[in-house]
Amino acid sequence: MSQHQISQGYHPSLSSMFHRPSHASHAGLLFQSQEAATHHHFYQNLLPKKLQHTNSSYTQSTHPPPLPPKELVAPALGGTDPVPRELKTVAFPRDCLNRFASIASINTSRNRETCGLLLGKDKGGKFVVTTLLIPKQHSTSDTCTMDEEELVMQFTEERSLITLGWIHTHPTQSCFMSSVDLHTHSGFQCMLPESFAVVCAPNSTPNFGIFRLTDPPGLKTILECEVKEAFHPHPERPIYTDADKGHVQMKDLPLEIVDLR
């Protein structure tokens, strides 16, 4: 996936998920998808080739294992997640979790996932999530596929918003990052190190988690993974960690919710 630099500095844009803009490109949102029996998430095929998963022939069964393998989770603090530079703080509205869970409740009651985008602004010294965008989508108990992606592109371009993270539910499972989630999130984090993933598990305790890939070794491990099955284990090393005990800070902030469904 190519990166372009602009005079103001690195600034990822959701629009590059659909075309190559003249400014900075962005990995884009990649939710789980069964379409075309491929490991690609809902529009990974639209990403620039450089940062797509190295093996594009993944197969995904209609019914993945009831308990996907869990990865080794690194402690959030204590120097286990070194990064090449200090991460900017991301301010995340505290009530986003409850409001998203409420929006997803009908799907959750039907054992169907719900997904959304966390959009916001670069405030210079920090990022601020300002908007929860619910795209048009269809889903199953373990997948969520976005429809009419051009509506998302239009929305983010009109508002000059950038994608800071993504959020989705695990209707019946616990709160963790599956291997599919990890491959999804690697695209985000390659382009914006501060990117984070939120998992909401309404029927589990804890009922939410805010995560990022460790870097190293998690990001490199996922990018170099060539396992063909969608749900699969990775080497026993700290692959991901809690971001809300790190650079993501929950604050009492206003939140705009836009539901395109």
- Report yes or no on 1 lying in a domain: no
pTM of the model: 0.72
The Cα–Cα gap between 152 and 14 comes to: 8
Q: Read off the CATH number of the domain in which 31 is found.
A: 3.40.140.10
- Report yes or no on 6 lying in a domain: no
Asked if 3 contacts 24 with a C-beta cutoff of 8 angstroms, the reply is: yes
- Report yes or no on 73 lying in a domain: no
- Report yes or no on 158 lying in a domain: yes
- Report yes or no on 54 lying in a domain: yes
pLDDT of residue 145: 85
* Grouped pLDDT means (10 residues each) for the chain, 261 residues: 31 30 31 32 31 31 43 49 72 97 97 97 96 96 89 95 97 92 93 96 95 94 90 89 94 98 95
pLDDT of residue 27: 36
Number of separate domains in the chain = 1
- Report yes or no on 154 lying in a domain: yes
Give the range of the structural domain holding residue 184, as residue numbers without chain letter.
14-61+78-259
- Report yes or no on 182 lying in a domain: yes
Query: Within 10 Å of residue 89's Cβ, how many Cβ atoms?
Result: 17
